Chain A
């Protein structure tokens, strides 16, 4: 766990470099404000006040109000809560499924492997977002379907990575040596496989959460995902688009929030992953 290995920020910075430090810093700020922010802001994200619609940022409404007079700060934070919690929840589900099935496929090989790989190929038959979109078509706005759809598309990468790496590791002479010496499967799992998978899985996780958040926003943007009056970033963009000329600062807010969140996730694992 490289993130927690060193306690002083300076040490950490030296170890992981500037861009990852920025990413982690930004990510911590986003997570902390998502957790405690709604209480600090104090406004109800759903409360309309048509007399005070489209206000510039002021002392009462830190980031202004939207076209229905709802507090922007409260809505953005509520959107962040929704995206992050759904993103993390789907990721945990996907990672658990993908990693365990990946190891099972690599370990047992033969038909188990063939079956699981075909299953993964089947999921890959449709681009991820399209699969979620089609699922969402049968019940637009359903939180559960969104969760299942996103998890279903995310697990494949965990599976493919884990399976492929584990196959290489298990074919390595050192594993043969450990088996020959009578060391347990637990030893092979924790000392041979996990240390080698760790960094790659971190990267896939960060990018996985990012693409989950993107998918949620994209579906919201085309009005197929989360439904109004819930506050969701993509949905807010669509709703605020008509007011661009009068209140440009409004539509920019969810865009900036989305981009910063994704950027911080990407940067926290080094910024680049060719997928």
Chain B
């Protein structure tokens, strides 16, 4: 039986009559599993919002949305809201922000049970307890959202969303901000939905998640469908050029690093022995030995919170090692260790033009303006981009600009803290390749911090897994 069918769906800005996405058509059978895949910022979430009927003010949808054969797109907001929880439900993108900050998490789930099944409180609490047990949340019922980790908050949200036993679950970027361990946990929860006979519609930019979920897939580009079919078929032999590029850009399918040729083998920039690192007298990492030579790349990987950022701060000298030795080559000057930041928009002063910023940096490091324009040309950026403020420039462009800005200081070492984790797969690959090329050309030693094992293994000459040095 067809549960949901969408025909020629468009989402547009009401005042300007500008289409943000469309046409989108698909249908979803009961017990089926569909993934919609596309780059970030392409408005994928709008599809989920259009189906739910919760588009932000100013946005409207047109086209047909049929639920169990009945048109729901022209129902009044009140009637659409009556479907929520009962027939359609959704797993929120930001689980932390989606739970009432003042209410204990058990209560937030129990109130849904109580409402849907007209239980008394006692019965509803019992139901919640059972559900929490299944989800590994036994101690969580009395905690409030601020006391939960990201993964726990997501499971509480999952429990609340599915308490009404809705037939259709919309999951919008369910793995956003989760590391691989938590990634697997949410995956198994999602996989259980079709097995139970309900339907799952997942919206994601995470190729690994899409592959693991299986079922059907739709690939979106610029708000339009470029390819659709059985997930495993589409992803293993993609036809559309965009899908091919997407699959190739996924770090897990990158070619292994070809034999490396390091120009100056003896030129050691920084070296550590039995390094012990921590903050406020609490050690995170111990017994770390590494060595970085000019023109070489070193990747450091590990889950969030293991102390990757503290390690970088130690290398740059802003915190002192707690033990062991860290030696920087003497010829490295004050400004010759440069950094790249995780979130490109936060790395530039937000209220002045980029030109203002670059003028100051070139002046400080005595670089001619023409030379800067040449650098921009090398990374395929137009000089006119400098007239804008950081908020009007895309993340990928901004990250390239921050490479350039770091290069002005003629660094010998470049420390990159998750520089591409907020970027799309394709942009990520372009950026990382560019970074590697520039560092090789300028003979810069680079340390890349990443939580992605594949990038760590396939991109850098050397790889350190911090899990082995954890205190």
Contact = CB atoms under 8 A, between A and B. Distances in A.
Interface of A: 172-178, 180-184, 187, 191-192, 195-196
Contact of A183 (B334, B337, B341, B361): B361
B405 A191 contact: no
Of residues A181, A195, A196, which shows the largest number of chain B Cβ atoms within 10 Å of its Cβ?
A181
B409 interface: yes
A195 B335 contact: no
Nearest to A186: B360
A173 B341 contact: yes
Nearest to A179: B318
B357 interface: yes
A178 B339 CA distance: 10
Contacts of B408: 181
A206 B334 CA distance: 44
B352 A183 contact: no
Contact of B348 (A177, A180, A182, A187): A177
A187 B359 CA distance: 11
Contacts of A191: 349, 352, 356-357, 360
Given A181-B405, A183-B360, A183-B361, A192 B334 contact: no
A182 B409 contact: yes
B352 A195 contact: yes
Nearest to A192: B349
Contacts of B352: 191, 195
A183 to B, nearest CB: 5
B350 A183 contact: no
B349 A182 contact: no
B338 interface: yes
12 contacts: A173-B341, A177-B341, A177-B402, A178-B349, A180-B335, A180-B338, A181-B365, A181-B406, A183-B360, A187-B360, A191-B352, A196-B351
A175 B347 CA distance: 8
B122 interface: no
A90 B232 CA distance: 72
A177 B406 CA distance: 9
A181 B364 contact: yes
B264 interface: no
A37 B406 CA distance: 59
Query: What DSSP secondary structure best describes chain A's contact surface?
Result: helix
Contacts of B406: 181
B interface majority secondary structure: mixed
Contacts of B343: 173
Nearest to A182: B335
A174 B364 contact: no
B346 to A, nearest CB: 5
A173 B341 CA distance: 8
A168 to B, nearest CB: 12
A195 B335 CA distance: 26
Contacts of B338: 180-181
A181 B316 CA distance: 12
A181 B339 CA distance: 9
Interface in B354-393: 356-357, 360-361, 364-365
A174 B351 contact: no
A182 B365 contact: yes
B347 A174 contact: yes
Contacts of B365: 181-182
A196 B337 CA distance: 28
Nearest to B346: A173
B405 A174 contact: no
Residue in A175, A178, A192 with the greatest tally of chain B CB atoms within 10 Å: A178
B360 to A, nearest CB: 5
A176 B337 CA distance: 13
A182 B346 contact: no
Interface in B261-308: none
A183 B356 contact: no
A182 B347 contact: no
Nearest to B339: A180
Contacts of A174: 346-350
Given A172-B346, A191-B356, A195-B352, A177 B339 contact: yes
A183 B409 CA distance: 11
Contacts of A195: 349, 351-352
A176 B365 CA distance: 17
Given A177-B339, A181-B406, A183-B364, 18 more contacts: A172-B346, A173-B341, A173-B343, A173-B346, A173-B347, A174-B347, A174-B349, A177-B341, A177-B348, A180-B338, A182-B365, A183-B361, A191-B349, A191-B356, A191-B357, A192-B349, A195-B352, A196-B350
Interface in B5-51: none
A181 B351 contact: no
A79 to B, nearest CB: 40
A177 B402 CA distance: 10
Contacts of B341: 173, 177
Complex A-B, nearest 6 residue pairs according to Cβ-Cβ distance, in ascending order = A195-B351, A182-B335, A173-B346, A177-B347, A192-B349, A173-B341
A229 to B, nearest CB: 51
A182 B365 CA distance: 8
A187 to B, nearest CB: 5
B393 to A, nearest CB: 14
Contacts of B346: 172-174
A62 B105 CA distance: 70
A176 B349 CA distance: 10
A173 B416 CA distance: 13
Interface in B397-412: 402, 405-406, 408-409
A191 B354 CA distance: 11
Contacts of A184: 364
B335 A181 contact: yes
Contacts of B409: 181-182
Interface in B314-353: 316, 334-335, 337-339, 341-343, 346-352
B378 to A, nearest CB: 19
Contacts of A173: 341-343, 346-347
B357 to A, nearest CB: 7
A183 B363 CA distance: 9
Contacts of A178: 349
